[in-house]
Amino acid sequence: MSRFLNDRYSSLEVYTPGEQPKDKKYIKLNTNESPFPPSEKTVAAVNADEIRDLRLYSDPECSELKMAMAQSYGVKTENVYVANGSDDILNFAFMAFGQNGAVFPEISYGFYKVFAELHVVDYITVPLEKDFSIDADKYCFNGRLTVIANPNAPTGLCLSVKEIEQIVKNNPDGVVLIDEAYIDFGGESCLPLINKYKNLLVTGTFSKSRSMAGARLGFCFADKEIIDDLRRIKYSTNPYNINRLTLVAGKAAIEDDAYYTENCKRIIENREYTVAQLEGLGFRVIPSKANFVFAESDWIDGAELYSKLKEKGILVRHFDSERIKNFNRITIGSIEEMREFIKTVKQISEELQ
């Protein structure tokens, strides 16, 4: 750290992304990426003409992409905002709406805490229930920014739209941000509620169900006034925050919805397979509506399973925090990857006998 750094940032605990090691080829089940490539039409959209146009700035309004999204999701363009990954939107949301503090579940996406600290937002966390679920009734902190990942990460558990509506209703004087990064894998989106509540902000991403983690593209829906607040911050920081190639790829992906819906179906099938197999091997698996499962067993410690899998060329995500340290979060990949994963877990269990 240099002596020039603003004191405000010197004690920040930064977010730790999942590892992307280059030492050998791993089966990567650690960062919830898609095992499937973007669709052919998405790939074709990023063509030589678009690359030549990189000399020009991208459209700061992202009009074409926003129109495509509005049409696909059945909302008005004024209710859509797109950004450089949904992390970018979360960042802005803490900046914009955290004035009276924030609240989020104790176990959830690790970035919420980082953004709260970055923007000096006073935050409180609510413990999960015994079964790792979120009790919607406990989120009554009117005035604070409430942030809920639905499905939650790393548990994969999903609240119903009714429960989300309860939270939104209970907090009329604070923004309720529902992070739907994993909603396409079996949960029900609360998007229709934006027409009814002015304090609801629903975020989503192209990183998981749309196979574009490397393109960095996120989006959100809300009442026009909230969208305008986000635009206000964007035009005060980085108006061209989405590059031209990502804009055209994103639009093509939206227009090729059938391909991505089919991929989600396959992921859900592969998830069911993985859950059944893991349970057969003595694991407790939290019921997941995401493209990952969260599992523990009493025959191997979470950290040990993580290391043994890594030794054998499979990466999963392990978290050190006390309550979940016996678990691993396993991304659902292709069926071949999941068979290999299960085979390897079996092998590890046999080696221990």
Ligand X SMILES: *Cc1c(COP(=O)(O)O)cnc(C)c1O
Interaction site with ligand X (CB under 6 A): 32, 85-87, 109, 149, 153, 179, 181, 205, 207, 213, 218
**C-alpha–C-alpha distance, residues 158 and 148, integer Å:** 10
Residue 87 or 229: which CB sits closer to ligand X? 87
**C-alpha–C-alpha distance, residues 65 and 239, integer Å:** 15
> Which amino acid would we find at residue 108?
S
Residue 33 or 296: which CB sits closer to ligand X? 33
Shortest gap between Cβ of 213 and ligand X (angstroms)?
6
Shortest gap between Cβ of 219 and ligand X (angstroms)?
9
Shortest gap between Cβ of 152 and ligand X (angstroms)?
8
Residue 205 or 246: which CB sits closer to ligand X? 205
Shortest gap between Cβ of 282 and ligand X (angstroms)?
28
User: What Å distances lie between residue 153 and 71, 260, 322, CA to CA?
Assistant: 29, 21, 16
- Cβ contact 158:321 at 8 Å: no
Shortest gap between Cβ of 317 and ligand X (angstroms)?
11
**At which residue do the structure tokens 């074409």 appear?**
64
The DSSP bridge partners found for residue 283 are 297
Residue 105 or 300: which CB sits closer to ligand X? 105
Residue 87 or 184: which CB sits closer to ligand X? 87
Tokens in use for 280?
Answer: 């057969």
Q: Closest residue (Cβ) to ligand X?
A: 85
- Kind of pairing, strands 145-149 and 102-105? parallel
For 211, list phi and psi in degrees, rounded to 5. Answer: 55, 30
Residue 165 or 179: which CB sits closer to ligand X? 179
User: What Å distances lie between residue 346 and 271, 308, 313, 343, CA to CA?
Assistant: 17, 12, 14, 5
Residue 185 or 283: which CB sits closer to ligand X? 185
Q: What is the 3-state secondary structure (H, E, C) of 7-52?
A: HHHHCCCCCCCCCCCCCCCCEECCCCCCCCCCCHHHHHHCCHHHHH
> Which amino acid would we find at residue 260?
Y
Shortest gap between Cβ of 29 and ligand X (angstroms)?
14
Shortest gap between Cβ of 234 and ligand X (angstroms)?
15
